[in-house]
Amino acid sequence: MMMKNIRIASLWIIVLVALVRCSLDEDVAEQYKKETPLEIDIQVPEYIEAKENTEVTFELSQNGESVSTLDDLSVTTWMVDSETTKQLVAENVGNGEYSVETSFDQDGIYHMKVTASKNNATIMPTKQFIVGNYEEEVNEPTEDEHEGHDHDSHH
């Protein structure tokens, strides 16, 4: 009986030693590649007139430093509720700044999506902006409409 207890105790010691040796290193996260995402600041003019040339600039950075070379860069614009898109070619101005010149056919709400890639890091931010004197109607219920719907009473 004593031999059996010694064997069981020895087995437990071996298991515990194995578990302690297999525990995670505290610095295990340092052994993996750290991602450094690209960052972009799209700068659209405050007022854009329809059918006039407009310059849009954007600055790219990574780890707080300007990105002057990219693996891929594309710029797409479209008007809200339209299936027509326009592909634009951006010019590298230098020091991480890029520029694109375009015009917009009519007043309305537009989107511009910039897709940029470098070293397997890709970002695709979209900026919404207004062209011309477009005013969007907001369809919010008025107070009268709210008062006309009493959800607590059932007839």
Instruction: For residue 151, name the pLDDT band (cuts at 50, 70, 90).
Output: very low
**Cα(27)–Cα(16) distance, integer angstroms:** 22
pLDDT of residue 114: 96
| Residue 57, both tokens | 């600039």
In this predicted model, which residue has the larger pLDDT, 123 or 4? 123
Beta pairing class for 54-62 and 108-118: unpaired
Instruction: For residue 142, name the pLDDT band (cuts at 50, 70, 90).
Output: very low
In this predicted model, which residue has the larger pLDDT, 155 or 9? 9
pLDDT of residue 24: 60
12-14-17-18 Cα dihedral, nearest 10 degrees = -110
Q: What is the mean pLDDT of residues 28-39?
A: 73
The burial of 63, by beta-carbon neighbours within 10 Å (0-12 exposed, 13-18 middle, 19 or more buried), is given as: exposed
**Cα(22)–Cα(58) distance, integer angstroms:** 49
Domains annotated for the chain, with CATH where assigned, are 40-131 (2.60.40.10)
